[in-house]
Amino acid sequence: MNEPSSVPLSEQEMIRMEKVHKWYGTFHVLKDINLTVRKGERIVVCGPSGSGKSTAIRCINRLEEFQRGRIVVDGQELSSDVKQVEQIRREVGMVFQHFNLFPHLTVLENCTLAPTWVRKLPRRQAEDIAMRYLERVKIPEQAGKYPGQLSGGQQQRVAIARSLCMNPKIMLFDEPTSALDPEMIKEVLETMVTLAEDGMTMICVTHEMGFAKTVAHRVIFMDGGEIIEENEPEEFFTHPQSDRTKLFLSQILHN
């Protein structure tokens, strides 16, 4: 039914989610998610745990399947065609809560693996690119080490560099600082801010409201699998509309 098709989009649109529904068994996790993300736009998704925010962004690169609705990424509609999904995943970088670096490979190898095997770049070129991004996340000196030898913050920065090496058009962040010790959160957020300044299209699931205020164009609040509220950060934080948003904000800001 979902045959791959190139849907005409306005040049600015990078992601469009239309009426996306998802069930885990009989449990309705995502209810009618509608979201349009334009090129260069930075969106922060927040909400209580279990609200479906991670699931929602994981649908964008199809780490999760959805049962109803449609998602169009960079002009291509997601389907169940494996090749097409792989194609889209190349253009969509993802950073995970638990880094998910490959422990048997060095930092440099983590960064060159996908460019050489998926993009088919020559090893030399892939290494040059990797070193450039490792410099950008400020850990080129760790290139020869294994992930297990790095701190959590360093690992997460490697994970960001690894994604960037694929030269993605969109970056998804799934609670990138939630598993970090407090003193390491800052270094990761700073890396994300530089990325934002370079005009990357970003969707970021996070509870770092400071980051949302300074970086996001829009903040989306999800609860119970629905998008409850969507606004510019200034408005979102100063004049939350719904009671659930108010409750959430009061909990998160007073902790």
- CA pseudo-torsion sign 26, 29, 32, 35: negative
Tell me: does residue 94 bind another protein (CB under 8 A). Answer: yes
Tell me: does residue 117 bind another protein (CB under 8 A). Answer: yes
**CA atoms of 160 and 195, how far apart (whole Å):** 10
- Select 52 or 240, whichever has its Cβ closest to another protein: 52
- Do β-strands 201-205 and 170-174 pair in parallel, antiparallel, or remain unpaired? parallel
Give the CA count within 13 Å in the CB-facing half-sphere of 65.
Answer: 9
**CA atoms of 17 and 71, how far apart (whole Å):** 4
Tell me: does residue 84 bind another protein (CB under 8 A). Answer: no
Tell me: does residue 22 bind another protein (CB under 8 A). Answer: no
**CA atoms of 74 and 231, how far apart (whole Å):** 23
Nearest C-alpha neighbor of 143 from the set 158, 129, 156, 153 = 158
Q: Which two tokens stand for residue 160?
A: 């960001």
**DSSP calls for 152-187:** HHHHHHHHHHHHHTT--SEEEEESTTTTS-HHHHHH
Q: Which of 38, 39, 90, 138 binds another protein (CB under 8 A)?
A: 90
Tell me: does residue 89 bind another protein (CB under 8 A). Answer: yes
**CA atoms of 228 and 48, how far apart (whole Å):** 12
> Of the listed pieces 73-81, 132-140, 145-153, 198-206, which binds another protein according to CB under 8 A?
145-153
> Of the listed pieces 97-105, 195-203, 219-227, 240-248, which binds another protein according to CB under 8 A?
97-105
Tell me: does residue 149 bind another protein (CB under 8 A). Answer: yes
Q: Which of 7, 50, 81, 118 binds another protein (CB under 8 A)?
A: 118
Tell me: does residue 100 bind another protein (CB under 8 A). Answer: yes
**CA atoms of 146 and 85, how far apart (whole Å):** 30
Tell me: does residue 101 bind another protein (CB under 8 A). Answer: yes
Q: Minimal distance in Å, beta carbon 105 to another protein?
A: 8
Tell me: does residue 235 bind another protein (CB under 8 A). Answer: no
Tell me: does residue 237 bind another protein (CB under 8 A). Answer: no
> Of the listed pieces 13-21, 43-51, 125-133, 162-170, which binds another protein according to CB under 8 A?
162-170
Tell me: does residue 87 bind another protein (CB under 8 A). Answer: yes
Q: Which of 20, 33, 46, 92 binds another protein (CB under 8 A)?
A: 92
Nearest C-alpha neighbor of 200 from the set 238, 162, 164 = 164
Give the CA count within 13 Å in the CB-facing half-sphere of 214.
Answer: 10
**CA atoms of 4 and 25, how far apart (whole Å):** 26
Q: Minimal distance in Å, beta carbon 83 to another protein?
A: 8
| Contact footprint for another protein (CB under 8 A) | 61, 63, 82, 86-87, 89-90, 92-94, 96, 98, 100-104, 113-114, 117-118, 146-149, 162-163, 166
